[in-house]
Amino acid sequence: MTSTRVGFVGLGLMGAPMASNIAKAGWNVTAWNRSGAAFEGLAVQRAASVAELRNEDAIIFMLPDLPFIEEASTDLLESWRSNPPQPGTAVVIMSSVSPAAVQQFGETVQQATGGNAVVVDAPVSGGTAGAQCGTLAIMVGATQSQFEALKPLLETMGTTVRRMGPLGSGSLAKACNQLIVGTTTAALAEAAELAERSGMDVNALFEVLSGGLAGSRVLDNVGPRLAAKDYAPTGPAKFMHKDLGFVVSSAEAVGSAVPMASAAIDLYAELKRQGLGDHDLAVVRQTIANLSRTSAASASTN
């Protein structure tokens, strides 16, 4: 990219600090968000519509899933059909989306713009803390030249920025990330519930685990919330169910067995059935506690 202008769509828990860090790095950010309250305290310009971003060299989307992005970009694509953007315009999908679906969206954008605009998927990991500190891990699906052009922009938001392969590869890498985060969090939740019901101090358990082979970034970040039963959202747990669905569908496409993902997707589906989807991912411990009570009640009646 030769300019330092960028459009940004979606100023949620992750998007707002990401857009803020881009602006702090000296970029001119014009953003759109459904709610105007998100602009308070942000040094960005406000667009009245997504279509107003049509002349930006890059437009970042940080919305919950690809259907939201497709809906938000309807007027933008219609505008580009009648008046194509400059060659090399990049639509950067930083949400967690389906690897296959983002490739299809790339074809739609390419057709709508006569090839002038390309889609790059660049999902992130690191949670709200990483978004705020600008230390996200960013997994990019793009050609090498597209990646090199966007790298300075992406490095305003993350410290680990890697090209994983062509379009869709970033989303597959994020799906693998979520497989590890989702199953590890569930295993820690099971351990916490088992330990507490057995009379053990969960904080002491996690402290000793962190010093051994079971230690991990997931334990460091989610462990304190699991131990404290602190389920205030840093990101809705229901999105883990969505992301694990991408793991399963990607595995089916290449014939790869994913027994851990299959078990985890059932657990997170149960989390949603229990009405806990809007809480933090750590709320999977409450899901397991509820299942334990149900199991105990069933045993007592038999």
Mind listing the domains of the chain with CATH numbers? 5-165 (3.40.50.720), 172-300 (1.10.1040.10)
Q: Is 242 annotated as catalytic?
A: no
Taking the C-alpha atoms of residue 182 and residue 225, their distance in angstroms, rounded to an integer, is 15
How much is the pLDDT for 57?
95
Counting Cβ atoms within 10 Å, is residue 187 exposed (0-12), middle (13-18) or buried (19+)? middle
From the list 250, 99, 93, 245, the residue with the least C-alpha distance to 171 is 99
- Mean pLDDT (the chain, rounded): 96
User: What element of type H or E holds 189?
Assistant: helix 169-197
Share of the chain above pLDDT 70, in %: 97
For residue 296, pLDDT over 80 is answered with no
Contact 32, 47 (CB under 8 A): yes
For residue 80, pLDDT over 80 is answered with yes
Given 24, 174, 238, 272, the catalytic residue: 174
Taking the C-alpha atoms of residue 235 and residue 131, their distance in angstroms, rounded to an integer, is 12
Taking the C-alpha atoms of residue 258 and residue 108, their distance in angstroms, rounded to an integer, is 31
pLDDT digits over 157-213, tens only?
A: 999 999 999 999 999 999 999 999 999 999 999 999 999 999 999 999 999 999 999
Q: Which two tokens stand for residue 22?
A: 């881009």
Confidence of residue 301 (pLDDT cuts 50, 70, 90): low
How much is the pLDDT for 234?
87
Confidence of residue 294 (pLDDT cuts 50, 70, 90): confident
For residue 135, pLDDT over 90 is answered with yes
- Angle of helix 169-197 versus helix 259-273 axis, rounded to 10: 70
For residue 3, pLDDT over 80 is answered with no
Confidence of residue 1 (pLDDT cuts 50, 70, 90): low
pTM for this predicted structure: 0.93
How much is the pLDDT for 69?
97
Share of the chain above pLDDT 90, in %: 94
